[in-house]
Copies of this chain bind each other. A is one copy, B any other.
Amino acid sequence: MVIDNNFYMSLALKEAWKYQGLTYPNPAVGCTVVGNYGEILAVEAHHKAGEPHAEVNALKVAYYKLTHDDTILQLDASSEIHTYLLHNHNDIFKNCLLYSTLEPCSHLGKTPSCALLISKLKIKKVYVGSLDTNKEAENGNAILEKNGCDVESKLQNVESNLLLLPFQKFLVDKFVFFKWAQRLNATVDEGIVSSLESRKKVHDMRDKCDLLIIGGNTVRIDRPRLDARLVDGKAPDILIFSREKKFDQTIPLFGVENRKVIISNNFTILDNYKNIMIEGSSKMYALTRDIVDYYLCFLAPSFGGKNGFDDVEDEFEILNVDKESKDIIMWMKRI
């Protein structure tokens, strides 16, 4: 294993992918901070909108590692962490390297600008994966350089851009991902497929989606609720893809408050939404093939069941694979 800049950036990428699907409307971003001697001080990610950016989470952990001052561990709000670091850093970061999968932000939004924070902390060098093309946040590199920070851009650029793609789609259009859970033998039926932890993650993603697409047959047969109850989250709007418009209104999904249910046999309604999850099997897979950006497979390490993915033919590139709890979670794109 080669321990170099690519290794440090790949740790940031790996950490960021754990939160892909959970950061809307923000991007999934990861950050590694490396000390004076090449020691890894922190590998952190952005977890969800409203919480600190990846760089702030990483600098918080790195500060604690270097100072053992545990006051900072009590701070959760990004503005508090910014302020605390600015007041107490004592130039301890001046020989540190920072690796961020995305150009540090330049805008003062819910949280102050990361680029300004990093340059005021006098970080020696910043390695950037993707350049930020978001009008509100771009030019972070320029702020860093203007303030004397050395910047090297496009380290692991291809990998960082693949991590960033969902965000870039939110910004200008919409991001659509097809999520399914299957066993090793590709079945999706006969009982629960995924672990509780995987199902919680899916509920967490539903909480962050504004629209969930499901097939009419699945609604009729499974009578699902399709909410985010496992994480106490909000239920997304639903598009039931169906030619037949009549559904038994006692099916639980219709009874969820503050949700719109649309029944349609086309996808024009998608233009009103930004972060869209499709849940389904072979049929929905084929129907939605042309509108999907990424695929997300929860693979349970088991054999069983009878029916699942058949009569499909496609090839994917695996963008990230992780074992979380019992299951494997794979983000992919069609090639």
Contact = CB atoms under 8 A, between A and B. Distances in A.
Given A11-B1, A37-B38, A43-B1, A301 B315 contact: yes
A49 interface: no
B185 A310 contact: yes
Given A184-B297, A184-B316, A303-B309, 19 more contacts: A1-B43, A35-B38, A35-B39, A38-B40, A40-B40, A182-B184, A184-B309, A186-B187, A186-B309, A302-B314, A302-B315, A303-B312, A303-B313, A303-B315, A304-B313, A317-B326, A318-B326, A321-B328, A328-B328
Contacts of A42: 1, 3
Contacts of A303: 309, 312-315
Q: Is the interface of A mostly helix, strand, loop or mixed?
A: strand
Contacts of A44: 1
Contacts of A40: 3, 38-40
Interface residues of A, number: 42
Given A323-B318, A332-B301, A309 B185 contact: yes
A182 B44 CA distance: 34
A261 interface: no
Contacts of A301: 315-318, 330, 332
